Amino acid sequence: MSSLSAAYAAHLDTLQQRSAEALARAGRDHLLIASGVEKYHFLDDRPYPFQANPHFKHWLPLLHHPHSWLAITPGARPRLVYFQPDDYWHLPPEAPSGYWAEHFDIRIIRDPAEARALLPDPARAVILGEADAALDGVVPDNPDAVLQYLHFHRGYKTPYEVMLMRQASDRAVLGHRAAEAAFRTGASELEIHRAYLEATGHNDLDLPYGNIVGLNEHGAVLHYQYQSPQRPETARSFLIDAGANHAGYAADITRSYARDAGRFADLVQAVDGVQRALCDQVRDGVDYAAIHLDAHHRLAGVLQHSGIVRMAPEAMVEQGVSSVFFPHGVGHLIGLQVHDVAGFQATPEGGSIDKPAGHPFLRLTRTLAPGMAVTIEPGIYFIPMLLDRLRSGAHAAKVDWGLVDELLPFGGLRIEDDVVCTGGVPENLTRDAFARLN
């Protein structure tokens, strides 16, 4: 705990420096951050699952605390207005405690409106939050210059943040091991999902995103959103894209498996080799878009070597054939949000770095630097809609459609790790977590 406490204190110092600079740019004296409010289903009294404002949980590991506020004034101790209602219908938050509490001037409120008197002059403040978090005279304005500055720098994780992401990865790989074991026993997608939850200690609401649990052809649906309760007659293949959450920080991991040896198992092994090589490129000064383009060339090499497409890798990429089999980006920033902000931002002032032509789904185009945490997730898929276009196009004769038809029932595969850029060798949070579990 002592190392976590020391890392957290340093993390707060970094956030104080960033907020002071952002306020100076905006000509304001205070930064007010709303945690958010509960939202209700239309014509109903049931709330949606609460999601804390990412700016709020950047400062505090508090995820289930609606109607709370942070007030940051440069040179002063930050104030936390902590909503702890008297409630017998629901369990209210516990009294503030933990490694973070000593760093804040904490004021307890029983009614959300009480926060107004405990916040500094809103006329001199930047106020971050959703519109429905407004109090009397305290209305979120989310000035663009402040958001651009804070979002850009959120791309660089502090050592404290990386510590939390390691713990999220450790939890996620427990689930991945349990999910693979359930697949090997012939479990349904729903049964695999439940095994994942039990192993991670999460419920569905704890997950940073909805688990993708796809057997057979479902592995070809990139964001497959269901978990069938029916056990397939034969579970040929399995793709699981599932993460975990720790203190507000996400892990995002994908693994793919074949039931038996054969062509699909060989593809999984080949893509795993490609993925490891791409992870090694997460280094200071590397253009992330170049990693994406290299992923296309390497995966095109796999398609050529396996005999699926009879074209040179360079031609496959240039003619868009590789995008039929790999139609998404190679990854994204990760941290407080699974797809973390500012993936295209050119400078702290704003601006955008274009995606490579012909690659509309890439989520990150910045140059990597120490502290950046990214995913690396190449894949090869057999998606009927995209294959139909290829089959009727100019390059149809270059494809071994017999092989494609043989592989269609396996759906597709993806391998994804979370990787932190350092001043030297990248830190692969995912592979390290699997190694610790073995």
Condensed to tens digits (0 to 9), the pLDDT of residues 193-223 reads: 999 999 999 999 999 999 999 999 999 999 9
CATH of domain 2-154: 3.40.350.10
Structure tokens at 332: 């994204």
Tens-place pLDDT, residues 142-187: 999 999 999 999 999 999 999 999 999 999 999 999 999 999 999 9
Q: What is the mean pLDDT of residues 358-369?
A: 97
Kindly list the domain boundaries of the chain, sorted by start residue.
2-154, 159-437
Alpha helices in 27-48 (DSSP H): none
Cα distances (Å, whole numbers) of residue 117 to 5, 77, 111, 114, 289: 31, 17, 12, 6, 48
Rounded to whole angstroms, the Cα distance separating 11 from 171 reads 23
Q: Are residues 152 and 342 in contact, defined by beta-carbon separation less than 8 angstroms? A: yes
Number of neighbouring beta carbons within 10 Å of residue 292:
25
Tens-place pLDDT, residues 3-46: 999 999 999 999 999 999 999 999 999 999 999 999 999 999 99
Q: What is the mean pLDDT of residues 66-75?
A: 98
Rounded to whole angstroms, the Cα distance separating 61 from 80 reads 12
CATH class of the region 159-437: alpha beta
The pLDDT of residue 199 is 98
Structure tokens at 129: 């939050």
Q: Are residues 399 and 408 in contact, defined by beta-carbon separation less than 8 angstroms? A: no
Tens-place pLDDT, residues 244-301: 999 999 999 999 999 999 999 999 999 999 999 999 999 999 999 999 999 999 999 9
pLDDT, the chain, mean: 97
**β-pair partners for 77:** none
Q: What is the mean pLDDT of residues 77-90?
A: 96
Q: Is 60 exceeded by the pLDDT of residue 1?
A: no
Structure tokens at 214: 């796809």
Residue whose structure tokens are 């509960």? 38
The pLDDT of residue 184 is 97
